[in-house]
Amino acid sequence: MKNLFFTVATTLSIVSVSYLLPSIFPGERAKILSDVGSEIRLVACSATNARTSSLRNAELVSNIVNGLPQDVHIMLLVNDRSAFATSSNNRRVTFVEMPRKSDISIWPQDPFVVVQGPSTTKLITPCSFNREDDERMPAQLAGMLNLEVIHSEMHFEGGNIVCGEDSVFIGYDTIQHNAVVLEATPQQIVKRFSKLFGRPVVVVGESIQEVGHIDLIVTPLRGRKVAVADSRAGARLAASAVDRQPDDVLDFETRCEQMYFGREDVTELTDRDGKKIIRPNVVGQTKAAISASLQIAPALDRIARQLSRAGYSVVRIPALIPDQGSTPQDDAGQGTNDASKRYPFLSYSNVLVEMRHNQPLVYLPHYGFEAMDQAALRAWDELGFQVKPVPGFATSAMYGGGLRCCTKVLLRN
């Protein structure tokens, strides 16, 4: 009788422990898809057209598709399929039609993150996302790929989250915003993000962000290595180009300005609400961008030091960063409220990285500022990366985004 009681008690204990074990030791949990890793297999992009959008990117999408290897499949989000034709039926591109009359941006990076478990892929959306109808993107992709969409209670934008091999990096503003909105301490928010994304969280920055999204300035690399943008180096390179190749710089500025609406002769357009959009003034603005880059450099240095203190080996990549505030600068470097002065954000950190055939490879946006593009190419090359430039990002950069912003990696091999 005593033995029987002992057996039953032991069995009950085992049952209880077994029940609790999965929550104590979660095992292989779902994790946010890393920005560093094996070959990219599936990517989402979005294309806008002249009928509905002032920022048309059909040519840029072609560059992205052609810049990625043949075995990468692209899910191309469009809100008006009839607006587009392709050279022929292309095996690599699947059109994903958004609901009729929905308006989308060219930035699929932001409205969701991809989380992968051993046997599942989920798209996690933020609590709310208010940019055009971009919040519909994950649902459309999930519908096409039969994936699950999880609506999170957290507030985030994919561009302010980058993921290394071990940790996920989240911009300071995202943590603070959630702390205020969810009435929690930043530490609690970090824990919640860590649980949601299945990886430890590193908060990037210790004060309000100077750059809206950290993926423009921080690139996780393999191991405990991170690349941080160096706008001081970028300013030096640009200043040297202004001195030595002024015609090239002028040519770049002129092309940025002329191609803003995709056609040289278009200087202004009216948006859906009847508001005039005026072509920005870029010619002569490189000096102001240099000045702004120098101003922002200490903030980037602080981020580099912070990550270094956190145990990461930090390398720097040049960048030319125009003024990020609401007061663009005039020729004399003074703040003005002239919104028509919009200079492209030349980020060489907003990239896609992968290991292909055991070789680290970076897909690097090029903007047409030859001296800067080449310097960035050399910087990545010196880091041991094979570099695949993807041209045509000047206009996209005038709206503040590079290659990573224009894409969302959904699957790696």
Binding site for another protein (CB under 8 A): 3, 6-7, 10-11, 14-15, 18-19, 21-23, 30, 41-42, 47, 49-52, 56, 58-59, 61-62, 65-66, 70, 73, 76, 80, 82-94, 116-122, 145-148, 261-263, 265-266, 268-270, 410-411, 413
CB atoms within 10 A of CB 124: 21
The side-by-side arrangement of strands in the sheet containing 352-356 is 352-356, 359-365, 386-390
- The secondary structure of residue 187, as a DSSP letter, is H
CB atoms within 10 A of CB 180: 12
What are the tokens at 366? 């090029």
CB 403, min distance to another protein, A: 16
H/E segment holding residue 308 = helix 286-309
Question: Cα-Cα-Cα-Cα dihedral of 60, 113, 400, 35, to 10°?
Answer: -80
Nearer to another protein, 32 or 214 (CB): 32
CB 22, min distance to another protein, A: 5
Is the CB of residue 108 less than 8 Å from the CB of residue 137? yes
> Which residues fall within 8 angstroms of residue 51, CB to CB, at 6 or more apart?
80, 83
H/E segment holding residue 396 = helix 394-398
CB 53, min distance to another protein, A: 9
Query: Within 13 A of 263's CA, how many CA atoms are on the CB side?
Result: 7
Nearer to another protein, 9 or 127 (CB): 9
CB 136, min distance to another protein, A: 20
CB 170, min distance to another protein, A: 23
CB 80, min distance to another protein, A: 8
